[in-house]
Amino acid sequence: MEKRTHGWLGKYKELLAAITLFLVLDLGVLVFNTFTSHLIERDTALINTAGELRVYSQQLTKSLLTLRQEMQASEPIQSSLAELGEAHAAFTSALGQLRQAGQGSGLWRAPMDSSGQELLTQLDDYWGPIGEAAAPLLDNQHPAAMDVDGAVTKAVSRNVRLMQLADDLTRHLEEQAVSRAAWLRYIQVGAILLATLNFIFIVFKFIRRLLESDRQAESARRETRDILDTVREGLFLLGRDGRIGRQFSRSLPSLFGLPLQGGQPLEPLLQELLEEEQHEAARDYMDLLFNRKVKPALLEELNPLREVALKTQEGRRKGPSHLAFEFTQVQENGEVSALLVTVTDISRQMQLARELAVTEARAGSEVESLLAVLDQDPEQVRDFLQAGDTRLNLVNQALQDVKPDTRAYAELINQVFRGVHSIKGEAGALGLMDISAQAHQFEDLLTPLRRRHDLTGDDLIPIAFQVGELREKLARVQTVLARVNRQRQTEVGASHPFAELKKQIEHLALKVAEDLNKKVRIEVDFPSQAPDLDERLLRNLREMLPQLVRNAVAHGIEAEEERLQAGKFPEGTVRVEFLPAADGSLSLSVRDDGRGISCARIRARLLELGHTPERVQAMSEKELLACLFTPGFSLLEKAHEHAGRGVGLDLIRDMAARAGARLRLSTLPNTYTQFTLQFQPAP
């Protein structure tokens, strides 16, 4: 029995050894593949997380800049706060994942090397001040402007370096992953070699070895297919004949927005996707890629497809607007046999870059306006802005009143061109280059229209848009000028003889505007040294000035919606000037940029009050305006707390007569109304 057993073992000794070796190798490959898959998953997750830090940093900076802009413009900030919170949380979470992965724990997790730990520490150090500055804004629905400005300053100053560190960490992790993959590949090659030798031995002895080999080959093909179906980037091999390889990632057709087939030429596809100039550059570049004598670093620098915009073409499915192409040479026996092409969707990055550029341009424009105003006489800038606003109001009125006639359109175009050219010249003289450039752009629009003889009403639509753009530029400078004026008034106001009166009328104007749901800005210009005035004149001044300011806000300044429909700023302006003349006379004027006084409206009101049509039609413009000073007369149909009872201007007229002052009224419908009191010098 024992002899028989030894004979059986001897007969199947090679079989048992082959099976044992096969089992050992199979188990080793299984364990090794499991270990390899865990490492690949970990490296992929780390690389993706490190790459996302750049996006989150850009998103955080953009949301902070947008938040500051919205706060300056008094716009809703909830959306910006939400975006800020999402970006802050995402960056903090991603950084935490990298820290945890860098420490390493468990059987399948190795700690990050010293270089990676150093980059991660630098990232943490650069992120810390930004995160601390942004933290007070996250749960605060009404953040302070100072906190926002501080957060913006830190984010902008550190954003570039933070993104660079994120890129460095991503590249380091990629290099580490490539190195580890190469090391693992060598081990895998060795294991496969041993398995192959064992397979050959078994093939010679047993047919089952052949079947096992087929199973492994099918598994490898399935893994390759799974990888190509999973990656977001477009991956494919480009042969020397310019054709796409048979295998490519599933995302490639959606990135191109075109159906693809293996073996299809790449050049016609690029011709459909790119503009002619970019297509020619790409064709020449790919020819250069197959030259093994050209250094890879130079090839990467010369890549014309690093960032390309796709042209819109009928028949293409909806896809990305911008793509990035990367080319890697595949060499065989010292020759470039193919190119590994990676296609990435960078539409979002390009959009963020454009939005950031617009934000920076606006910020630069405001700084430029501030510097220009500081370098110029504020009074000259104010006069320019008032004149420009008046010209644009006249343009808006002309656009509304123009007759549907080709000749009328041509005359209007010439009128607008003269006004815009005047604004351009004055802005250039004052150093307001932002306004000058906008006016120049307006002229570029008007120049071809002046040469045409077939103008229609549709040609006037872009003019209205350009008027709005130019008005916005004027509004920015007006905001800067108001700040300069407030600072100037603060320096003088504390010791000004009329400081208390100035404070009272400013408070009155804002109170009336608030009660009537209007927006108003009050500007007061008193002489730095008040002239000698008797007590009676001072008393009349204190009584008349509030009446005139109240009348300007209540009657002159329109509601915000009405001003916007008339093409004006939503905020009205009431300006008070009290100026002494060389002959000893004094001039007090109150001017608003409101709806003005319409004689047609006065006639309609007189008819409502029972005056005969014959008498009303016979009245001159001067007589109609005089009706405003008639006791009990008001253009308001319904009286309210601040106007409508017909006593304000009547009282002003009586007080002016008692003070021996001359009262003048000037107005232009939809533009302004100004009351002027001329006080004669004391005998």
Phi, psi of 266 (to 5 degrees): -80, -35
pLDDT in the model for residue 643: 56
Most confident of 139-143, 179-183, 395-399, 558-562: 558-562
pLDDT in the model for residue 494: 43
pLDDT in the model for residue 2: 46
CATH number at residue 451: 1.20.120.160
- Which secondary structure element, helix H or strand E, spans residue 616, and what is its range? helix 613-618
Shared-domain flag, residues 544 and 657? yes
Shared-domain flag, residues 171 and 315? no
CATH number at residue 554: 3.30.565.10
pLDDT in the model for residue 315: 45
Q: pLDDT tens-digit profile of 76-86?
A: 888 888 888 88
- Tokens 């007006």, located at residue: 478
Alpha carbons 175 and 165: distance in angstroms, whole number? 15
Q: Using alpha carbons only, what angle is made at residue 310 by residues 308 and 316, rounded to the nearest 5 degrees?
A: 155
Alpha carbons 547 and 675: distance in angstroms, whole number? 11
Query: Of 459, 494, 529, which residue is a domain's last?
Result: 494
Alpha carbons 152 and 61: distance in angstroms, whole number? 7
When mean pLDDT is compared across 45-49, 274-278, 631-635, the lowest value belongs to 631-635
CATH number at residue 122: 1.20.120.340
Query: In this structure, how many other beta carbons lie within 10 angstroms of the beta carbon of residue 601?
Result: 14
Judge whether residue 533 has pLDDT over 80.
no
Alpha carbons 490 and 482: distance in angstroms, whole number? 12
Q: Which residues contact 227 (CB under 8 A, 6 or more apart)?
A: none
Kindly report the average pLDDT of the chain as a whole number: 77
When mean pLDDT is compared across 278-282, 343-347, 381-385, 488-492, the lowest value belongs to 488-492
pLDDT in the model for residue 276: 84
Mean pLDDT of all residues in 459-466: 83
Q: Using alpha carbons only, what angle is made at residue 378 by residues 373 and 380, rounded to the nearest 5 degrees?
A: 105
**294 DSSP assignment:** S
Shared-domain flag, residues 433 and 509? no
- Tokens 């950084």, located at residue: 95
Whether pTM > 0.85 for this model: the answer is no
When mean pLDDT is compared across 135-149, 237-251, 507-521, 551-565, the lowest value belongs to 135-149
Phi, psi of 340 (to 5 degrees): -90, 115
Shared-domain flag, residues 150 and 237? no
Smallest Cα–Cα separation from 332: which of 285, 283, 290? 290
Alpha carbons 122 and 168: distance in angstroms, whole number? 11
Helix 13-72 / helix 114-138 crossing angle, nearest 10 deg: 40
Strand partners, 235: 342
Query: Of 494, 523, 557, which residue is a domain's last?
Result: 494
Q: Which residue would you say has higher pLDDT here, 284 or 35?
A: 284
Strand partners, 591: 575, 674
Shared-domain flag, residues 607 and 515? yes
Six token digits for residue 349: 């990055």
Alpha carbons 391 and 163: distance in angstroms, whole number? 48
SS3 452: coil
Q: pLDDT tens-digit profile of 405-438?
A: 878 888 888 778 777 766 765 666 566 777 877 8
Query: Of 451, 475, 494, which residue is a domain's last?
Result: 494
Most confident of 240-249, 312-321, 395-404: 240-249
Contact (Cβ atoms closer than 8 angstroms) between residue 547 and residue 648? yes
Shared-domain flag, residues 13 and 129? yes
Alpha carbons 343 and 270: distance in angstroms, whole number? 12
Largest CA distance in the chain: 153
Contact (Cβ atoms closer than 8 angstroms) between residue 49 and residue 170? no
Q: pLDDT tens-digit profile of 362-408?
A: 666 656 666 666 666 666 677 678 777 887 888 888 887 778 887 88
pLDDT in the model for residue 414: 77
Phi, psi of 73 (to 5 degrees): -90, 5
Shared-domain flag, residues 531 and 501? yes
Contact (Cβ atoms closer than 8 angstroms) between residue 567 and residue 396? yes
CA distances from 198 to 28, 185, 212, 384 (A): 14, 19, 11, 93
Judge whether residue 596 has pLDDT over 70.
yes
pLDDT in the model for residue 493: 44
pLDDT in the model for residue 495: 45
pLDDT in the model for residue 488: 58
Contact (Cβ atoms closer than 8 angstroms) between residue 573 and residue 593? yes
Shared-domain flag, residues 184 and 110? yes
Alpha carbons 390 and 490: distance in angstroms, whole number? 28
Alpha carbons 362 and 338: distance in angstroms, whole number? 47
Query: In this structure, how many other beta carbons lie within 10 angstroms of the beta carbon of residue 124?
Result: 15
Shared-domain flag, residues 212 and 305? no
Q: What is the β-pairing status of strands 572-580 and 520-525?
A: parallel
Q: What is the pLDDT confidence band of residue 122, given thresholds at 50, 70 and 90?
A: confident
CATH number at residue 275: 3.30.450.20
Cβ burial, residue 610 (10 Å; 0-12/13-18/19+): exposed
Mean pLDDT of all residues in 190-204: 72
Cβ burial, residue 162 (10 Å; 0-12/13-18/19+): buried
Alpha carbons 417 and 414: distance in angstroms, whole number? 5
What is the side-by-side strand order in the sheet with 520-525?
A: 520-525, 572-580, 586-592, 672-679, 661-668
Helix 499-515 / helix 535-551 crossing angle, nearest 10 deg: 20
Strand partners, 243: 265
Q: Which residues contact 65 (CB under 8 A, 6 or more apart)?
A: 152, 156, 356, 359, 363
Judge whether residue 3 has pLDDT over 50.
no
Residue type, 333: N
Shared-domain flag, residues 608 and 644? yes
- Tokens 């065989």, located at residue: 332
Number of compact structural domains in the chain: 4
Q: Which residues contact 587 (CB under 8 A, 6 or more apart)?
A: 577, 578, 579, 580, 581, 676, 677, 678, 679
Smallest Cα–Cα separation from 51: which of 161, 177, 165, 130? 165
Q: How large a percentage of the chain has pLDDT more than 90? A: 2
Q: Which residue would you say has higher pLDDT here, 225 or 565?
A: 565
Domain that holds residue 15: 1-230
Shared-domain flag, residues 389 and 259? no
Q: What is the pLDDT confidence band of residue 591, given thresholds at 50, 70 and 90?
A: very high
Query: In this structure, how many other beta carbons lie within 10 angstroms of the beta carbon of residue 433?
Result: 15
**637 DSSP assignment:** S
Six token digits for residue 126: 């650069």
Alpha helices in 263-377 (DSSP H): 266-273, 276-289, 296-302, 347-375
Strand partners, 329: 339
Q: pLDDT tens-digit profile of 554-580?
A: 888 899 888 888 888 889 999 998 877
DSSP E strand stretches across 479-567: 520-525
Alpha carbons 169 and 644: distance in angstroms, whole number? 72
Shared-domain flag, residues 394 and 521? no
CA distances from 594 to 424, 467, 569, 573 (A): 25, 18, 10, 8
Query: In this structure, how many other beta carbons lie within 10 angstroms of the beta carbon of residue 220?
Result: 10
Judge whether residue 356 has pLDDT over 70.
yes
